[in-house]
Chains A and B, each alone.
Chain A
Amino acid sequence: MSKAGDKSWIGRSVERIEDLTLLAGRGRYIDDIGVPPGTLHAAILRSPHAHAEIRAINTEAARRARGVVAIITAAEVAKLSASLVVGVKAPIECWPIAVGRVRHVGEPVAVVVAGDRYLAEDALELIEVDYAPLPAIVDPLAALDPQLPPLHEGLSSNIASDRSFRYGDPQREFAEAARKVSVSIRYPRNSCTPIETYGIVAVYDPAEDAYDVLANFPGPFSLHPVMARALKVPGNRLRLRTPPDSGGSFGIKQGVFPYVVLMGVAARVAGRPVKWVEDRLEHLCASVSATNRVTKLEAAVDADGRVRALSFDQIEDVGAHIRAPEPATLYRMHGNLTGAYDIRHVAVRNRVVLTNKTPTGLNRGFGGPQMYYALERLMQRVAVELKLDPIDVIRCNLVPTNAFPYQTASGALLDSGDYTRALDVALADGGFAELKKRRDAARAQGRIYGIGCTAVVEPSVSNMGYITTVLTAEERRRAGAKNGAQATATVAFDPLGAVSVHTASAPQGQGHRTVLAQIVADAFGLAPNDIRTVSEIDTARDAWSIASGNYSSRFAAAVGGAAHLAAMRLKEKLARTAAAQLNVPPAEIEFAGGRVHARGNPDNSISFARLAATSHWSPGVVADDDQALRETVFWTPPELSPPTEADEVNSSLCHGFIFDFCGVEVDRVTGAVRVDKYVTMHDCGRVLHPGMVAGQITGGFAQGIGAALYEEFAYSPDGAFLAGTFADYLLPTSTEVPVPVILHVETPSPFTPLGAKGVGEGNCMSTPVCLANAVTDALGLDAIDLPMTPAKLAAHIHPAEQAPNRARGLS
């Protein structure tokens, strides 16, 4: 075994265990893994209409096509499965294939299963569908119209949920406040679009009525019961497995779950294993989008910029179906609606509407980008309208340093932080004064230059009960309280004393295996390379729970912590066994450099491997309570309680802090935005691996640039989808993403075993609005919606073009 030395591995940017394999092209992504002999391949026929009745589907010619084994339509799916459970109390069905009518472009209509993908796609062209087009609803405000026919038969309108909340006395505060300031926002649809698409290999065993599905599904595994119920089997008859490697997710791959049901049915009908890999057009038009949201947010403000109360009116567009876990996007931030600010009075109205667009789901930031765009645009408007410095407005409203842990008006418990110090360090170390000089110099030259800033609280480790805030207290009582965030980790010794770690964390590139090796190596005085880690999931064999998976930035805080706890349990047992052998008290046993020794006497020692193997070879010499073979820890934080009768909810366990500022220049001719400087300050608690933390921040920042400047899942008024390729849905490339200045302060979380907090999503929340605040500062605009494309900004720079003089033109 290698020498570990005395230094902790946690906190060091060790090279990733994953990278030797990935860099050599030996990764095992879903499409790289061998499939059972005889596996067939599926292709999906999708709706070209935003809204249409399906009068008939003729599959005769397709069934006769070369290589076709089976064709699955709604008839087979409805016979062999049940509707996916939806998260609101409304009589709505949600199928993985269109039943009776199509409700968005790209909705599956039929599945062809054939000998290979080429043959399956050939047969798609032979399927004839008789559609009767219906009017489409695209605008979420139009969906509020009670006169329009509902998209789902069980509903009386297209409003699937309408809840109002009141914390403190916002009515009184608004009546008494010196000023009212408001913003109206239309947050667009976008997605973090992983470069690997969805993939599934589904097998059905008729003898045991059981499904075995391999899918690049990242969790949350609360969707496993949803899939099992849809397939009409108990949970133990849906074995769901994930591949070792996954090509990015950013939440988006959660949306593979309806296809698990669809391909499960396809495998059952075909009588053979079925594989399906989504193509890019399918992914862009029909996988998952973030919600678009219309927000009116108003603040009651004192003359000095102190915000006394907020009033939210949020209209959330979840698309054509309320697919689980929606409407979670709307409620993920519910405890954090006051952001980084000490605001005690909040009114909220949340409406969830259905439109003829792709169903929504997890997307990095999950609710944060939409909410903070409104809140942080509002804070800038407070400064502008009251003629105050935006930094001063942020500063005077921040949660005070001595107030942690701080309970927000809507129930979140902000675990730790020193927001004022983080702000001060960012301004000083990030060069804010110089940036202001730079702006003034640019403006003196006639250039269009602006500065933006924003403060964000980044929640992580979701409370599995937060989504129930969409229900009334009475409905929650009837349904049973939901809460918690079970994380699992297993640490085991083999007969040679080597250490293995398993977590149900399903990473998609975040380096979980490396960090787990660091954590467990520290516990045992070993080196990370001594530890073997497995982080994929097999629901038939592994320890897992509904919170398992990789989302809500829960790995470092929750899963890493559980691995630490499992290792420490084994370590305590080993220490007692070693104490007996070395004739010293257990408290004097130390683990270092691959050996276990008595404190102050390194010669009185035993090799770690020999000690760790003892319970395999010589259990008789180990006390019953100290048998040390394998330890599984389930850890859930007690702070994550269910929503209260008053609808207060601690929606997340940890709360990082971000303060960003930036300088941008808008091209006077083209309207293009150039990000001149970007500073991002993070407090994510204890940093476990600085290189990976920087990677998370920079990656989220780049996605924030994309959401701010380029990306939109655009629809025409008739519901046609306008962003079906990467030439239409523009991602930022290396020429558009500048190098951000990353700063840190650390206030460890008191609620997590290692003091770590999540850090994966914050810049998707902070960067879009920070850039928008800079662009509005540059152009002197009251309002701007994303994406801030050159055409949109040029319209603010150039006077409206004159209509050409037709008479002269025709002469």
Chain B
Amino acid sequence: MPRMSADANHRIRFKLNGRMVEADAEPRMLLTDFLRYNLAMTGTHVGCEHGVCGACTIEIDGVPARACLTLAVQADGADIRTIEGLAPAPGRLSVLQEAFRRHHALQCGFCTAGILLSLECYLRDNPSPDEATLRDYLGGHLCRCTGYVTIIAAALDAAERLRDANKDA
């Protein structure tokens, strides 16, 4: 990484939900603020700014990561996916998002983006999770509304549907 000046703005370029984006930021700017205020991608939420609640989770180079613990400059050159990139088209939802809707797996929706991003990554690598493993995995996300029951149900349902879809394909 090149040496940066603390006071100067630096140009940051990365792929966001399949499209190249670029904007300037100071080295100290958090990736959450950069996404939300500089790129207007407000679907990524900030719940604690110390990496515990998981609301800001996004996908960086195929791996779930806490955007609140990442500097914008660290994202330069990365391939990033956020909640805005999950739905296949406006007005439509992904299999996982649909399952959340069916199971009432969200109430206020504030923690939901991070949970969806984590699960998207997890189900891609682990298409047949059992409930205990899923609960353990989602232990990195805080939800205050649902009590998690419907989130787990939605994730299991989505995993099954994704498996069926892959079988048919």
Q: Is B149 on the interface with A (CB-CB < 8 A)?
A: yes
B49 pairs with A279, CB closer than 8 A: yes
Residues on B with C-beta less than 8 A from A29 are: 42, 45, 110
User: Chain B residues near A245 (CB, 8 Å)?
Assistant: 108-109
Q: Is there contact, CB below 8 Å, between B147 and A702?
A: yes
CB pair A695 B150 closer than 8 Å:
yes
Interface residues as binary, B70-103 with A (CB distance below 8 Å gives 1, 0 otherwise): 0000000000001110110011010001001110
Which one of A2-10, A18-26, A420-428 is at the B interface? Answer: A18-26
- A698 near B147: Cβ-Cβ < 8 Å: yes
- Does A175 lie at the interface of the complex (its beta carbon under 8 Å from any beta carbon of B)? no
Do B139 and A733 touch across chains, with their CB atoms under 8 A apart? Answer: yes
B47 contacts A737, C-beta separation under 8 Å: no
Q: Does B53 contact A (CB under 8 A)?
A: yes
Contact residues in A for B147 (Cβ distance below 8 Å): 695, 698-702, 737, 740
Of B86, B93, B102, B142, most buried by chain A (CB within 10 Å of CB) is B142
Interface 0/1 of B106-150, CB less than 8 Å to A:
111111110010000000000000000011101111111111111
Q: How far is the CA of A25 from the CA of B116 in the complex (A)?
A: 10
Is residue B55 contacting chain A, with contact meaning CB distance below 8 A? yes
Q: Is the CB of B100 within 8 A of A25?
A: no
Q: Does residue B23 face the partner (Cβ distance < 8 Å to A)?
A: no
Residues of A within 8 A of B43 (CB): 24-27
Instruction: Report A758 CB to chain B, min CB distance, Å.
Output: 16
**A250 x B144 contact (CB < 8 A):** yes
Q: Say how far B111's CB is from chain A's closest CB, in angstroms.
A: 5
Q: Give which listed residue, A24, A196, A694, contacts B47 with CB less than 8 A.
A: A196
- List CB contacts (< 8 Å) of B38-60 with chain A: 41-50, 52-53, 55
A802 in the interface (beta carbon within 8 A): no
When distances are taken between beta carbons in the complex, the residues of chain B under 8 Å from A695 are 104, 107, 145-147, 150
Measured in the bound complex, the distance between the Cα atoms of B42 and A29 in whole Å is 9
Assembly CA distance A193 to B108 (angstroms): 13
| Count, chain A residues at interface, CB 8 A | 53
Task: Establish whether residues B139 and A734, one from each chain, have CB atoms under 8 Å apart when the complex forms.
Answer: yes
Does residue A85 face the partner (Cβ distance < 8 Å to B)?
A: no
Name which of A43-51, A181-189, A506-514 contacts chain B: A506-514
Interface residues of A in 667-722 (CB under 8 A from B): 691-692, 694-695, 698-703
Closest to B26 in A: A118
With beta carbons under 8 angstroms apart, the residue of A13, A24, A250 that contacts B87 is A24
> B162 near A: Cβ within 8 Å?
no
CA distance A449 to B108 in the complex (A): 36
Q: Would A733 and B28 be within 8 Å (CB), given that A15-B102, A701-B147, A725-B50 are in contact? A: no
Beta-carbon nearest neighbor of B68 in chain A: A280
* A194-B150 contact given A511-B107, A733-B139, CB 8 Å threshold: no
Distance (whole angstroms) from the CB of B82 to the closest CB of chain A: 7
| A contact residues around B135 at 8 Å (CB) | 734-735
A698 surroundings in chain B (CB, below 8 A): 146-147, 149-150
A residues within 8 A CB of B97? 23-24
CA A24 to CA B42, docked complex, whole Å: 11
A25 to B44 alpha-carbon distance, docked (Å):
7
> With A and B bound together, what is the CA distance between A20 and B97 in angstroms?
9
User: What A residues does B55 contact at CB under 8 A?
Assistant: 195
Docked complex Cα distance between A195 and B53 (Å): 8
Dominant secondary structure of chain A at its interface with chain B: loop
Q: Is B138's CB under 8 angstroms from A23's CB?
A: no
Question: Once the chains bind, are B104 and A280 in contact (CB under 8 Å)?
Answer: no
CB distance from B143 to the nearest CB of A (A): 7
Q: A699-B147, A726-B142 are in contact. Are A509 and B107 (CB under 8 A)?
A: yes
| A192 at interface, CB cutoff 8 A | yes
A269 to B10, CA, bound (A): 33
Cβ-neighbour of B145 out of A13, A16, A509, A740 (below 8 A): A509
Complex: chain B residue closest to A733, CB-CB: B139
- For residue B152, CB closer than 8 A to chain A, the reply is yes
Residues of A within 8 A of B136 (CB): 734-735
Q: Does A739 contact B (CB under 8 A)?
A: yes
A25-B113, A508-B108 known; A248 and B145 CB under 8 Å? yes
Instruction: Report if A247 contacts B (CB, 8 A).
Output: yes
Cross-interface CB contact of B49 among A22, A192, A280, A702, cutoff 8 Å: A280
Point out the residue from B52, B91, B102 that lies within 8 Å of A725, measured CB to CB. Answer: B52
Listed residue (B26, B104, B109) with the most chain A CB atoms within 10 angstroms of its CB: B109
Considering the complex, give the chain B residue whose CB is closest to the CB of A739: B149
Contact call B116/A726, Cβ cutoff below 8 A: no
- Closest-by-CB residue of A relative to B42 is A32
Cβ B144 vs Cβ A737 within 8 A: no
Tell me whether B36 is interfacial, beta carbon within 8 Å: yes
CB distance from A275 to the nearest CB of B (A): 11
**Which residues of chain B come closer than 8 Å to A479, judged between CB atoms?**
none
Interface residues of B in 9-50 (CB under 8 A from A): 26, 28-29, 36, 41-50
**In the assembly, what is the distance between CA of A27 and CA of B47, in Å?**
15
B151 at the interface (CB under 8 A from A): yes
**In the assembled complex, which residues on chain A have CB atoms less than 8 Å from the CB atom of B36?**
31-32
User: Is A731 part of the contact surface with B, judged by Cβ < 8 Å?
Assistant: yes
A797 to B152, CA, bound (A): 34
Cβ of A19: which chain B residues have Cβ within 8 Å of it? Answer: 100-101, 106, 109
Q: Which residues of A contact B28 (CB under 8 A)?
A: 118
Please measure, in the bound complex, the distance between the C-alpha atom of A193 and the C-alpha atom of B47, giving whole angstroms.
Answer: 10
Residues of B close to A247: CB separation below 8 A: 45, 47, 108-111
Q: Is B144 in contact with A192, judged by CB distance below 8 angstroms?
A: yes
Chain B residues, CB < 8 A from A23: 87, 93, 97, 100-101, 106, 109, 112, 116
Q: Is the CB of A734 within 8 A of B108?
A: no
How far does the alpha carbon of A734 sit from the alpha carbon of B108 in the complex, in Å? 17
CA distance in complex: A18, B110 (Å): 12
Give the CA-CA distance A280 to B136 in the complex, in Å: 24
Question: In whole angstroms, how far apart are the Cα atoms of A247 and B119 in the complex?
Answer: 20
B148 and A22 contacting across the interface, CB-CB below 8 Å: no
Is there contact, CB below 8 Å, between B93 and A248? no
Q: Is A803 among interface residues, defined by CB-CB distance under 8 A?
A: no
The CA of A700 and the CA of B43, in the complex, are separated in Å by 26
Interface contact B109-A737, CB-CB below 8 Å: no
Once A23-B100, A118-B28, A733-B139 are accepted as A-B contacts, the answer to whether A699 and B106 lie under 8 Å apart by CB is no
Residue of A23, A26, A726 with most chain B CB atoms under a 10 A cut-off: A23
**Residues of chain B contacted by A800 (CB below 8 angstroms):** none
**B68 → chain A closest CB, angstroms:** 10
Q: Is the C-beta of A289 less than 8 angstroms from some C-beta in chain B?
A: no
Q: Are B50 and A280 in contact (CB under 8 A)?
A: yes
Q: Is the CB of A699 within 8 A of B142?
A: no
Residue from A20, A26, A27, A727 within 8 A of B101 (CB atoms): A20
A29 to B46, CA, bound (A): 11
Contacts of B49 in A (CB 8 A): 279-280
Contacts of A329 in B (CB 8 A): none
Residues of A within 8 A of B107 (CB): 248, 509-511, 695, 699
Q: A22-B109, A726-B50, A727-B52 are in contact. Are A734 and B144 (CB under 8 A)?
A: no
The residues of B that contact A727 with a CB separation of less than 8 Å are 50, 52
Contact A196 B100 (CB under 8 A): no
Complex Cα distance, B32 from A279, in Å, reads 13
| A370 interfacial contact with B, CB 8 Å | no
Of A24, A193, A511, the contact of B83 (CB 8 Å cutoff): A24
Closest CB of chain A to B124's CB: distance in Å? 18
Q: Give the chain B neighbours of A691 by CB distance below 8 A.
A: 104
Can you list 27 contacts pairing A with B, beta carbon distance less than 8 Å? Answer: A13-B104, A15-B101, A15-B102, A23-B116, A25-B84, A25-B113, A27-B109, A29-B42, A193-B144, A195-B45, A195-B53, A245-B108, A247-B109, A248-B144, A511-B107, A695-B146, A698-B146, A698-B149, A699-B145, A703-B144, A726-B53, A726-B142, A734-B135, A734-B136, A735-B136, A735-B139, A740-B147
4 more CB-based (< 8 A) A-B contacts, given A196-B108, A737-B147: A23-B87, A24-B93, A195-B142, A247-B109
Rank and list the top 4 A-B pairs by shortest CB-CB distance, nearest first. Answer: A25-B43, A509-B108, A247-B110, A22-B109
Which of B's residues lie within 8 Å of A, judged by CB?
26, 28-29, 36, 41-50, 52-53, 55, 82-84, 86-87, 90-91, 93, 97, 100-102, 104, 106-113, 116, 134-136, 138-152
